[in-house]
Each structure stands twice: as C-alpha cells, then as structure tokens.
Amino acid sequence: MEDLIRKFHLRKKIVMTAMVTFFVIVASAFFISSVTDTLSIGRTVLGEERYSARMNDSYLFAGMILLLTLPMLLPINQFFEKYLKTIRTLSKTEVERLEKQNETAFFINKYLPSYIVKDKSFIFFKFFGTTEIPFMEVTKIKISPVSYKGGYSISFKTNASLFYYTFSETPENLSLIADYALEVNPNINVSAILRR
C-alpha cells in the first residue's frame, strides 16, 4: 500500500508541476511578446502615455494569467485528496486488484486510474466528484468501443439509475470490471464488445 501511495504522490507532483509550468510559460510568452512588440514600436512613436499604458498592461495581463493558476490548482488538489482518501480505505485484496489493474493500464492511467474496483462496489472518479456504484444494485453492464475517442464507454444500469462513463482503458481491464462484478453479483447482465 505504501508503494502505491508513494507513486500516487509522485503522480500528483508531476501533474501539479506541469500545471504551474504551463501557466508560467504562457504568462512569460505573453509578457515577452507584448513587451517586445511595445519596445519595437518605441516610445517616440507611441508617446509617453500610450507606451506606459502598454507596458503596464503587459505586467497586468501576465500577472492575471499567473493568478489563474491558483483557481486551477485548487480543484486538481481536491481531486487528488479524494483519490488518496479512497486509496487509504482499500483492503489488501483491493490494493492487489488495483496493482493488477495498473500492470495492464495505459501509462496515463497507471497509479491514477479513472476507477477503482472495491470488493463490493465500483468507484469512478471525475474531476469534480466521485460516484460509487454497489455491485448488488447493478442489473446490467454494457461496454462498447467509442470510435471517435479510441476508448470505451461503459454503462451501469441499476434499478434506480443509469451511470455512463467514457474513458481510455485496455480491453483486459474492462474484462476485469465485468469479471469482478459477476463474482459478487452473478445476476448482472453483461454486454461487452472489446477490441483486441
């Protein structure tokens, strides 16, 4: 479990660092472009007032872009914290199942898959929340390819609701979803079209 959490923290650092780096690069590129443009026109052509306004705008807009970093990082951090909270609740068999899932997952999904299969439920992670679907409430699972995205759609029908997700995943892991669900609830109707 500790190895899984360590890898999770590494993934979080990578994502957060990439976000900050992206915003710093965008702000810097805008600032350099704007200042270079203003300097190339010159103070004499623009006049003192217009020249100062353009230079101030360059600082202002670059600063605003950098300030956007914080509102973007907060929900991403909350997503990671919800994910970590879920990982810490996993039993030993659930951790083994997640590690098996990670072995065949695409690189981007390793250590941060969009779903976790627990002993009695699925947990799906979206950017602004999680959904837990108990196996015993599921009546039908349908897995089908989505050609325009190159991934799969999966739907879970319960007596009360229909849950629908689209994501990139290996056929092996999609088969595992159905297998785990059927182990717990053999009454589930599974329909799967998997590309091999």
From first to last of its 196 residues, the chain has per-residue pLDDT tens of 788 788 888 888 988 899 899 989 999 998 999 999 988 888 888 888 998 998 999 999 988 988 888 888 888 888 888 888 888 888 888 888 888 777 777 766 666 777 888 888 888 887 777 888 998 999 999 988 887 666 788 888 998 899 888 877 777 777 778 888 888 899 999 887 766 5
Q: Which helix (H) or strand (E) holds 36?
A: helix 2-41
- State how far the Cα of 125 lies from the Cα of 137, in Å rounded to an integer: 19
Q: Is 172 exposed, middle or buried (0-12, 13-18, 19+ CB in 10 A)?
A: middle
Q: Going by C-beta distance under 8 Å and a sequence separation of 6 or more, which residues neighbour residue 190?
A: 140, 141, 142, 143, 178, 181, 182
Q: pTM for this one?
A: 0.69
pLDDT at 194: 65
- State how far the Cα of 115 lies from the Cα of 42, in Å rounded to an integer: 56
pLDDT at 43: 85
Could you tell me which residues are beta bridge partners of residue 82? none
Q: Which helix (H) or strand (E) holds 160?
A: none
Can you tell me which residue has the tokens 């190895």?
3
- State how far the Cα of 183 lies from the Cα of 177, in Å rounded to an integer: 10
- Taking alpha carbons only, the member of 182, 139, 185 closest to residue 162 is 139
- State how far the Cα of 30 lies from the Cα of 65, in Å rounded to an integer: 9
pLDDT at 25: 93
pLDDT at 60: 92
Can you tell me which residue has the tokens 């297998």?
179
Instruction: Give all domains of the chain, ordered by start, each with its CATH number.
Output: 2-76 (no CATH), 90-192 (2.30.29.30)
pLDDT at 196: 54
pLDDT at 29: 92
